[in-house]
Amino acid sequence: MISVNSRIPFSTYGNSGEPLVFLHANGYPPGCYRPLLNRLAGSRRVLAMVQRPLWPDSHPGDIHDWGPLSDDLLRFLSEQHLEKPVVIGHSMGGIAALRAALRQPERFKALILLDPVLFMPNFIRMWWLMYHTGLGYRIHPLVKAARYRRQAFDDLDKLFNGYRRKSIFRYFDDEALRAYVEGIACPDGDGYRLCYSAEWEMRVYVTGVWRDLELWRGLRNLSTPTAILRGAETDTFLAGTAQRVQKVNPAIKIVPLEKSTHLLPLERPAEIHQEIRSFLSALS
């Protein structure tokens, strides 16, 4: 059991090289990213931090915004004695990393944000209203899907074959889809259960975004070298948001990847790895 007061769990990929911390997305445990993490481990020691929705005794009601996720990252850096690592975050993980770097930039060498959950200011103001009027659970488009998603399975091969036919996984090759299926499923008796609870997944969706005007205020002065990789077909880090980010801070590198969506690190692990290597090589 990992307590909120215990050391934060993580998985390690690779044994040598400079440290690199990876933060997963909401609903996507670290194992889902195995094809990308194995590639990154070729030149770095990768620490894939397990975020609090996957801690056995954590409670969804403990968070009211995503600030604690950034607190957890800063605590993890201290626990592992990591000085100025590169931090990569996907979706929710990207926002956790960004907010932490805005608070304590001296603790980061570089940020690589994979399709972060950052929206335009007008949308943030609208979601602030939805959250504070209690409408978040009713109108968030992903809450219903999380609430009614099948939680238990008896055969991962059947799950793989079923997912293979779904359009959301159209850009996953078989290796990536297999890693995803194995990453989301935890053994449960004679079968499997989703590692990520529906209660936590919904709570993360509802409590995100509403405080993110502070991110826009901070971006102008972000000094940490930062790259944002976005899916050309994403529904999250939109083209208009990318343009505004570059206007606010031209030093931030933004790279779109063709034939990819919000799930680009699972869809395009080889291309993501190459873009990360290129960005980090230019820094050094």
Q: Is there a domain that residue 1 lies in?
A: no
Supply the range of the domain harboring residue 105.
Answer: 10-283
Name residue 129's amino acid.
Answer: L
Q: Is there a domain that residue 5 lies in?
A: no
Q: Is there a domain that residue 30 lies in?
A: yes
End-to-end CA distance of the chain: 40
Q: What is the pLDDT of residue 144?
A: 92
Tell me how far the alpha carbon of residue 10 is from its chain's centroid: 14
Q: Which residue has the tokens 């060498």?
A: 109
Q: What is the pLDDT of residue 5?
A: 56
How many Å apart are CA 105 and CA 107, to the nearest integer? 5
DSSP lists the bridge partners of residue 21 as 47, 87
pLDDT string in tens for the chain (284-residue length): 334 458 999 999 998 899 999 999 999 999 999 999 999 999 999 999 999 999 988 999 999 999 999 999 999 999 999 999 999 999 999 999 999 999 999 999 999 999 999 999 999 999 999 999 999 999 999 999 999 999 999 999 999 999 999 999 999 999 999 999 999 999 999 999 999 999 999 999 999 999 999 999 999 999 999 999 999 999 999 999 999 999 999 999 999 999 999 999 999 999 999 999 999 999 97
- What DSSP string runs through 226-251? EEEEEETT-SSS-HHHHHHHHHH-TT
pTM: 0.96
CA dihedral angle for residue 83, residue 86, residue 88, residue 92, rounded to 10 degrees: 40
Q: Is there a domain that residue 166 lies in?
A: yes
Q: Which of 95, 90, 106 is nearest to 67 (CA)?
A: 95
Q: Which of 49, 45, 37 is nearest to 20 (CA)?
A: 45
State how many domains the chain has.
1
Q: Which residue has the tokens 């980090």?
A: 280
Q: What is the pLDDT of residue 127?
A: 96
- What DSSP string runs through 18-47? SEEEEEPPTT--GGGGHHHHHHHTTTSEEE
Q: Which of 44, 37, 95, 45 is nearest to 66 (CA)?
A: 95
How many Å apart are CA 275 and CA 277, to the nearest integer? 5
Q: Is there a domain that residue 127 lies in?
A: yes
Q: Which of 143, 150, 145 is nearest to 193 (CA)?
A: 150
Tell me, what CATH number does 113's domain have?
Answer: 3.40.50.1820
Q: Is there a domain that residue 203 lies in?
A: yes
The rounded radius of gyration (Å) of the Cα atoms in the chain is: 18
Q: Is there a domain that residue 177 lies in?
A: yes
Q: What is the pLDDT of residue 15?
A: 86
Q: Is there a domain that residue 4 lies in?
A: no
